[in-house]
Amino acid sequence: MTIADYTLEYINGIPYLMPYGQSVADLKKCVKLNDTGIFIWNSLSDGFGRDEILSEMCKKYNAVTTDDKTILSDDLDSFLDILTAYRVFERENDIITLPDNSKPHHLRINTISICINAPDEYVSDNFSIFRYDDNEDLSFDTFKDTVHDDITINITHFIPFFHRGKKQVLRTDELTLLEDDSFYICRYNKPYGLIEWHLSKDGRTCNMYCKRTSDTDSDKPDISEEIFFAIRTIFLYNASFKGMYAIHSASVLYKDKAWLFSGHSGAGKSTHTNMWKELFNTPVINGDLNLIDINTTDGIPVVIGIPWCGTSGIYTSRSYPLGGITFIKKDITDQVRRIDGDDAVLSIAQRMISPCWNTGLLENNLAASEKIAAGITVFRLCCTKNPSSAFLMKEEIDNEYH
């Protein structure tokens, strides 16, 4: 059990549980107690669990018969239910309550199966081509008995408690990431619709806590959009366990391979890939983010189709072998060279957005970067925004893979 910010105080000799700190900010109510309530509260504060408290109550009230113990048990549960309703504490095994109009939405992104339990309006249209229950080429009846869900995401309107005693992993203007032994907890500092999510450390279960759509501001981002981008983090965390890592980059299809162009914001990756499309008729695979599978039998990484693509609106569900990665930098002339060794590995790792919340995840990202660099050619392109840069880059790729 996790006890919120409450303390036992007396007002004119009458005992009350009074909120303080975050509980006051959360507008939680005070609770009037009797002698039994005081006993139970003190036991909770001492860290006793439900069964331990019942045992102590039986001793205190000399409950010997089965009937006496049943009465005390019912009284204890009634009091705990009151504390739960007032959100004085949360029980570790509380069942997440889903909205009445929730239903399972089954997705499959490459080999990763996802089940989102939520109302329709909470699920982004970007997931449409990844549904395996609606896809004509994939029979849900065939998969439902054989495919397990790698990730289960539950959307609930229940508002979680303030978290005490958690370790802070990181903090930005937008969010705070905490952790304990079992979960990562992401709290949004200025929530619109999505308040926070709890992700199990094995990456398999995530509970998302949201405002009701009727309670969100009409001039704020659509709640399905917020959830969509939050699921990206959950997905990438899970995908890294399966040898799939995301690089902030745009990609084009050339010679039946995916070619990635990456760089810092404003470096020109979108401009460059659009020039490829216009000059060489190469389709853009993804306008902002590419997921790379390093666990291939031939050692050649594969780019996996995913629905997240920044603001470009360009993505696919198909997958392609990775041809190479080019890191772009603005310049007044066009120059390209091949890079390798630690320069290539570091360049890849620095553009990865797969979570690196601890040293273990960071080391996994670095190991993946080494494997990617070993299986392809990595280029650095200093370039202008002129078509000449695209012609130069294409010529370099053609010479490398003639």
Q: Please, are residues 210 and 122 in contact by the beta-carbon 8 Å criterion?
A: yes
Same domain, 55 and 79: yes
Nearest 5°: CA angle at 273, between 270 and 278?
120
Q: What is the pTM of this model?
A: 0.77
- Read off the CATH number of the domain in which 86 is found: 1.10.10
Asked whether residue 95 is domain-assigned, the answer is no
Asked whether residue 96 is domain-assigned, the answer is no
DSSP-assigned beta bridge partners for residue 105: 116
Domain that holds residue 32: 2-90
**Extended strands (E) in 314-376:** 320-330, 335-339
Same domain, 218 and 254: no
The yes-or-no verdict on residue 133 having pLDDT over 70 is: no
Query: Could you report the per-residue pLDDT of 8-23, keeping only the tens digit for each?
Result: 899 988 999 888 877 7
pLDDT at 137: 47
How many residues belong to the chain?
402
pLDDT at 85: 67
Same domain, 236 and 264: no
Answer with the one of 213, 241, 269 that is the final residue of a domain. Answer: 241
Asked whether residue 337 is domain-assigned, the answer is yes
CA–CA separation, 278 vs 201, rounded Å? 44
More confident residue, 140 or 311: 311
Same domain, 43 and 130: no
pLDDT at 159: 63
Q: Which strands, in side-by-side order, build the sheet including 175-179?
A: 103-109, 112-118, 151-156, 205-210, 194-200, 183-188, 175-179, 167-171
Same domain, 30 and 137: no
The yes-or-no verdict on residue 283 having pLDDT over 60 is: yes
Asked whether residue 97 is domain-assigned, the answer is no
Query: Could you report the per-residue pLDDT of 158-181, keeping only the tens digit for each?
Result: 766 556 568 889 999 999 999 988
Same domain, 393 and 266: yes
Give the chain's domain count.
Answer: 3
Asked whether residue 57 is domain-assigned, the answer is yes
- Read off the CATH number of the domain in which 330 is found: 3.90.228.20
Answer with the one of 58, 90, 122 that is the final residue of a domain. Answer: 90
For the chain, the helix, strand and coil percentages under 3-state DSSP, each to the nearest 5: 35, 30, 35
Q: Please, are residues 200 and 152 in contact by the beta-carbon 8 Å criterion?
A: no
Residues 6+ apart with CB under 8 A from 84: 90, 91, 94
Same domain, 388 and 256: yes
Asked whether residue 73 is domain-assigned, the answer is yes
Q: Alpha-carbon torsion 132, 204, 213, 188, what sign? A: negative
Per mean pLDDT, which range of 11-15, 84-88, 142-146, 303-307 is the poorest? 142-146
pLDDT at 30: 86
N-terminal to C-terminal alpha carbon distance within the chain: 64
Same domain, 325 and 347: yes
More confident residue, 49 or 114: 114
Per mean pLDDT, which range of 135-149, 317-331, 336-350 is the poorest? 135-149
Same domain, 79 and 160: no
pLDDT at 49: 77
